[in-house]
Amino acid sequence: MILYFFFFFLVGVGSGFYFNIIGKRLPNGEDIFEPERCENCEYEFKWYENIPLISFFKESGRCPKCRNKLDIVPILNELFTGFLFLLCYIVFGISYDLFIALGIVSLLMLIVITDLNYYIIPDEILVFFNFYFMIVLFFQLGFNGFVGRILSGIFLFGVMYFVMFLGDVIFKKESLGGGDVKMMFTFGLVLGPVVGLLSIFVSSFIALPVSILIMSLKKDNLIPFGPFLLISLLLLFFMQIDTSMLFHMI
C-alpha cells in the first residue's frame, strides 16, 4: 500500500514537471521538447539538473550557473500535482475511475497554467484529453454507454455555446472564451448531461467570491473561467454525484 502511495505521488510530481513545460510553451508556439533554460542567463539545464523537486532543493532553488533565484511556482505545481495524484489513488483505487480522475487532475493543472497566464485553453490539450477520456469510457461503459456520453458532450457544448451567445449579446463583448465552451464537451463525456449542467452552476458559485477578490485587488475585469470549471468537474467527480442522487435530493 505504501509503495503505491509513493508511486502515484512521484508520478504526479513528474507529470507536474512536464505540465509546467507544456503549459508555458504551448500557448507561445514553442517546442515542448527543448531542454529547460534559465530565464536569466539562458543556461541549458542538464538532464540531471531537471529531476523534479530534487534538483531544485539540491541547488537551493537557484540556477547552477548564474545562481539566480528560480521561480518557486513550478515547484509548488509539481508538489500539488503529486498530492492530487495520490488523492486520486486513495479515493478510487485501481479502477477505471482512477484513470478518469488522473485525467481530470492533469487537465486541471495544464489549464490553470495556460488560462491564468495567457487566457487561453489550447485546442491541442482538449483534443488529447477528449480522446483519452473516450478510450477509458469505451472500456468502462461499453458501446451504448460510450455513445450516450458522446451525445451528452455535444449537448453540453450546445448549452454553453448558447450561454456564450447570450452573454455576448447582453454585455456587448466577449463573455466567455471559446476554450470554455469547447471544454464543456469534456464535461459531458465525464459527468453526463445532468451533472454536467450542475457543474456550470457549481463553477460559477466558486468563481464569484474569487473573482470579486481579484477584481478588487487588480482592478481587472478579465477573469479566466476555465480553472473554476475544472475545479467543479474534479469536485463533482470525486463526490461521485450521479443523476439518480440529484433526483433523490430534489
Segment 107-122, tens digit of pLDDT: 999 999 998 888 899 9
Average pLDDT score over residue span 34-42:
81
Question: Are the CB atoms for 110 and 125 separated by under 8 Å?
Answer: yes
Selection from 177, 159, 158 nearest residue 168 by Cα: 177
Rounded Cα distance, 183 and 180, in Å: 5
Q: Which residues contact 3 (CB under 8 A, 6 or more apart)?
A: none
Q: pLDDT at residue 27 above 70?
A: yes
DSSP letters, 19-85, are HHHHHHHGGGT--TTSPPB-TTT--B--GGG-STTHHHHHTTTB-TTT-PBPPSHHHHHHHHHHHHH
The residue type of 11 is V
Rounded Cα distance, 52 and 66, in Å: 20
The pLDDT of residue 89:
97
Q: pLDDT at residue 222 above 80?
A: no
Cα distances (angstroms) measured from residue 136 to each of 14, 97, 103 = 22, 9, 10
Name beta bridge partners: 44.
37
The pLDDT of residue 219:
57
Rounded Cα distance, 175 and 158, in Å: 16
How sure is the predictor about 225, in pLDDT bands with cuts at 50, 70 and 90? confident
Rounded Cα distance, 142 and 236, in Å: 22
How sure is the predictor about 245, in pLDDT bands with cuts at 50, 70 and 90? low
The C-alpha cell that represents 238 in the structure block: 470525486
Average pLDDT score over residue span 100-104:
97
The pLDDT of residue 176:
74
